[in-house]
Structure 1
Amino acid sequence: MTYGDRRSGHRRARTAVVLCCLLAFVSAACTGGSGGSGESGQDGTAAGPIVVASGLDVTGSGSVRQQLIEEWNRRHAGSKDQQAKLVELPGGADQQRSQLLGALQSGSARYDVVNLDITWIPEFAEAGLISPLPVAGSGAATEDADFIRQVHATTVWKGRSYARPFNTDVGLLYYRPDLLTQADIEADKQPTANWTWDQLYSSVKTLGLNPVRRDERAGWTTQLKQYEGLTVNTVEAFADAGVHLTDSDGRYSSGPEDLKKGLDSLLDRVGRGRVQPAALTSDETASLTDFAEGRAVFLRHWPYAYGALGSLMKAKEYAVNRLPGKAVLGGQNLAVTADSPRAGNARALITFLTSRESERCLLDAGFAATRASVYGSTPKPCWPRVAAALRPAGGSSKAAATEAGTTGRQGTQAREAYIRLLGAALTEAVQRPRTPYYGAFTQVLQSHVHALLAAERPDTAAAADHLDHALRDVFAGR
């Protein structure tokens, strides 16, 4: 069944439910298949609670998402129907996607709001599982204009916005200034905002590192295990080579020659002697550990690593800057499920969760915020009770109070510089392919690229030809 068929079937089923309800004169009992027990109002304010489904909080910050839900509940303590509940889904991103697709397609779970990875928006929208947002009035449009343009674009599919940006992500370059200094690489030759991959390669050469085993120090490390991290690294290498796999409508727009150029770029980046041998089986946790324990001088990672390193290293042992070249955008968006009888209250909750104050809470907790004003000179502060409930991202309050040179977060000046570079990096980030077939695409890409990286004598021309045939089928929905 195609996505169009599935969407049409979904609409026909909903129409049948409505007609049955009208004929029986019991429209108050109609719940749209959500499994809810409350009455459904025309304004989408049926009996609560408003159920929010989300993945696990990776920041180690005291669950800022849960704290924001609790702040909303305190502000609506007089209304039982407006109370909200957070349901955290176990497993990795692929497992969460499968759980949400199954639950929403079958109607087996009563979710009103879903926190979707940005790459899932076209798929869920095309399948009719989430509702497009109402066309914003002038006031709402002004609020939406505060979202970073590239980040807000992830909510749009076929000209309609289906979600609001909640927390975002972008690749960053972490490095060990202590190890660079030991190798006589002076501060003025260490990473800057305009650093290139060639400069990184030059530093790795100066370091004289040529790791063969996993326990040996390497120039840098990243996430090349066969999972989404490999897709991200591949798309970044492709973007640096000027290779774009699809157009804005999700149609395949590449070919064998472009793919070879992209694969050559990736192989050059992760060639033997430069990257930590363990990178081929590393995810975010493993690569962060290798960096913290001195087995890599440079690390490609996400913003939450900045806080996590505060509990693993001394402040003078790590620093962060823009990723050389192109960096891929990540993050999650909040959408209202198509069958939610609490759609009105669900939209109000999303507006609160993505407000300027809430976005500041997310940034303070270790996520990357989605609003440009949060990175400005006079951002609105985090909600006071949420701020009091959060411990510093990646560590305890004791860690935050330690002085430079001891284990803990870096000082105020370094933190402010980090926020500025993070905001700048987000404005230039690139997206992964926008397609309703993203799940199939990423599995195909990972399979072909991982096999190439593991080969003793990788043949990028042959790999590009095979990948081209596979991607043509994927993006055509075959």
Structure 2
Amino acid sequence: MKSFKTKLIALSLVSSLALVGCNSDSGSDKSKDTSSKDTKTSEQIVLKFAAQNDNTPATKALIDQFNKENKKYDVKWVEMTNDSAQMHDQLLNSLSSGSSEYDVMSLDVVWAGEFAGAGYLSPIDVNMQKDSLQKEDYNAGSMASGNYKGKQYTLPFFPDLGLLYFRKDIVSKEDAAKLESGDYTYDDLYAMAQKYTGKNNTNIGFAYQSKQYEGLTVNLTEFTNSYKDVTGGLEMMRKFATAKFTPKNILNYMEGETHTAFEQGKAVFARNWPYAFGRIKGKEDGVTVSVDNVGIAPLPNGGAVGGWLLSINKASKNAEGAWEFIKFAAGEEGQKIMSTQGGYLPGYNALLTNDEVKAANAMLGYTGFQNALKETIARPVSPDYSKVSDTIQVNAHKYLSSGTGLEDVAKKIEEATKAE
């Protein structure tokens, strides 16, 4: 999730590391209006869809199918940069001016609270009720990420999520089943890390992200169960950080250090994003662990989501059409296109067991991964997310480094995450 990854791994393409939560791609620096040739008439209403570049056929196929199925609207894809920070600023500049140049927008999960809080997005609760759409039909963490002050502003475009990877050739079948069910705690994980470290030449029990950056906010979200128990979560992270089976430089670990430790056979357990599985399955340089020896499980409190959401510009002159497109793109047909043609994870839950979708996403064949997708959680939803995340990172890292000032650190983090 480096710096708000914009690229989510297309899991069926083992060499692809495209579009995960918050990475950047310098090869795309200008937005452009791209759309396929069609036979639409001039009487149709044009909808502008601002979304990042897609190196798979999925987004174009999604738009083409929507345009094919309706006669009233014609969606045009305004292809944005894959640099998350640039895309954020470009959208913000447009929205803050009151512009209606975009009708539908793809948003990083951490932008929804900011844009909703500023009054730039239209709530969709009434539309959902009118069309009998239930929040439970969609990825839970993605829905929570787009819910601000009790109102729903987004539907999932494609989710990403935190996972627990483990060595199936080391962990007992009984413990593996417990992990895959998700019915275990961080204390249980600690005990397993102690138990198995040293087996099959491993020397790390559990690798995860603790450097002072966005990844620390994500990991603390998971340890604290979305900040329901800040003190307990911090204490547990500190317990892992000081364990004998944990690398001494764990407070400098990001995703790269984590996947290296696991894929090179050093770690028994590792917390990371789905892209790490793609590296192992694709036998990337340095990978020594066989994919056959890799297990996947939910994290104890659920994995924090990354990925992207679909929203409606409040200034849009075509709000009705914007909703029709979002409903299609986030629904069963649209999500099936994104999953089968792009390898993206579906945000529409009914597709998790669809045979075509599972064939395009190798991880969906894992029971633990299926369970993880059902138990996702969200980072804080705030109109000033960057400030909130900075407060979490600075204070959490301070405590994890020193082991002192827990009460003060917990208080500051609690105040930051509850502020609106």
For normalisation by structure 2, the TM-score amounts to 0.73
In the TM superposition, what whole-angstrom CA distance separates every residue of 1:63-112 from its partner, at most 9, and x where no partner exists?
63344234445556x88x613214233335x6654443333213579332
Tell me: CA distance 1:71–1:380, structure 2 relative to 1, closer, same or farther (3 Å): farther
- 1:81-160 to 2 correspondences below 5 Å: 82-92=74-84, 96-106=87-97, 110-133=101-124, 135-136=126-127, 140-142=131-133, 146-148=137-139, 151-160=142-151
In the TM superposition, what whole-angstrom CA distance separates every residue of 1:337-390 from its partner, at most 9, and x where no partner exists?
1222343332222122112122234445454322221124xx4856xxxx9xxx
Deviation at 1:124, TM superposition (A): 1.2
1:230 corresponds in structure 2 to 216
Deviation at 1:443, TM superposition (A): 1.1
SS of aligned partner of 1:328: strand
| Aligned counterparts of 1:71 and 1:278: Cα–Cα separation in 2 | 50
| Aligned counterparts of 1:259 and 1:137: Cα–Cα separation in 2 | 33
Deviation at 1:448, TM superposition (A): 1.7
In the TM superposition, what whole-angstrom CA distance separates every residue of 1:390-440 from its partner, at most 9, and x where no partner exists?
x956xxxxxxxxxxxxxxx6xxxxx5542x543433433333333323221
Tell me which of 383, 396, 408 is aligned to 1:449: 396
Instruction: Kindly indicate whether the alpha-carbon contact (under 8 Å) linking 2:205 and 2:246 is maintained by their aligned counterparts in 1.
Output: yes
Tell me which of 459, 466, 472 is aligned to 2:403: 459
Which of structures 1 and 2 has the bigger CA Rg? Answer: 1
1:200 corresponds in structure 2 to 189
Instruction: Kindly indicate whether the alpha-carbon contact (under 8 Å) linking 2:230 and 2:413 is maintained by their aligned counterparts in 1.
Output: no
2:372 corresponds in structure 1 to 425
1:11 corresponds in structure 2 to none
Instruction: Kindly indicate whether the alpha-carbon contact (under 8 Å) linking 1:279 and 1:287 is maintained by their aligned counterparts in 2.
Output: no
What do you get for the CA RMSD once the two structures are aligned?
Answer: 3.7
For normalisation by structure 1, the TM-score amounts to 0.65
Moved more, 138-147 or 330-339: 138-147
Tell me: CA distance 1:234–1:90, structure 2 relative to 1, closer, same or farther (3 Å): same
1:41 corresponds in structure 2 to none
Instruction: Kindly indicate whether the alpha-carbon contact (under 8 Å) linking 1:171 and 1:302 is maintained by their aligned counterparts in 2.
Output: yes
Alignment of 1:302 onto 2:278: no
Q: Percent identity?
A: 27
- 1:2-401 to 2 correspondences below 5 Å: 48=46, 50-54=48-52, 62=56, 64-73=58-67, 75=69, 82-92=74-84, 96-106=87-97, 110-133=101-124, 135-136=126-127, 140-142=131-133, 146-148=137-139, 151-178=142-169, 180=170, 185-190=171-176, 191-193=179-181, 194-209=183-198, 217-239=203-225, 244=228, 259-277=230-248, 279-312=250-283, 314-364=290-340, 365-376=342-353, 379=354
Tell me: CA distance 1:145–1:299, structure 2 relative to 1, closer, same or farther (3 Å): closer
Tell me: CA distance 1:327–1:338, structure 2 relative to 1, closer, same or farther (3 Å): same
| Aligned counterparts of 2:189 and 2:248: Cα–Cα separation in 1 | 18
Tell me: CA distance 1:272–1:86, structure 2 relative to 1, closer, same or farther (3 Å): farther
Moved more, 363-372 or 334-343: 363-372
| Aligned counterparts of 1:101 and 1:432: Cα–Cα separation in 2 | 21
SS of aligned partner of 1:166: strand
Aligned residue type for 2:211? K
| Aligned counterparts of 1:450 and 1:136: Cα–Cα separation in 2 | 42
SS of aligned partner of 2:156: strand
Query: How many pairs were matched up?
Result: 368
Tell me: CA distance 1:297–1:74, structure 2 relative to 1, closer, same or farther (3 Å): farther
2:3 corresponds in structure 1 to none
In the TM superposition, what whole-angstrom CA distance separates every residue of 1:300-359 from its partner, at most 9, and x where no partner exists?
123344344321253313221222344334442200112223433322221221121222
Instruction: Kindly indicate whether the alpha-carbon contact (under 8 Å) linking 1:73 and 1:84 is maintained by their aligned counterparts in 2.
Output: no
Deviation at 1:284, TM superposition (A): 3.1
| Aligned counterparts of 1:331 and 1:267: Cα–Cα separation in 2 | 28
2:28 corresponds in structure 1 to none
Instruction: Kindly indicate whether the alpha-carbon contact (under 8 Å) linking 1:118 and 1:332 is maintained by their aligned counterparts in 2.
Output: yes
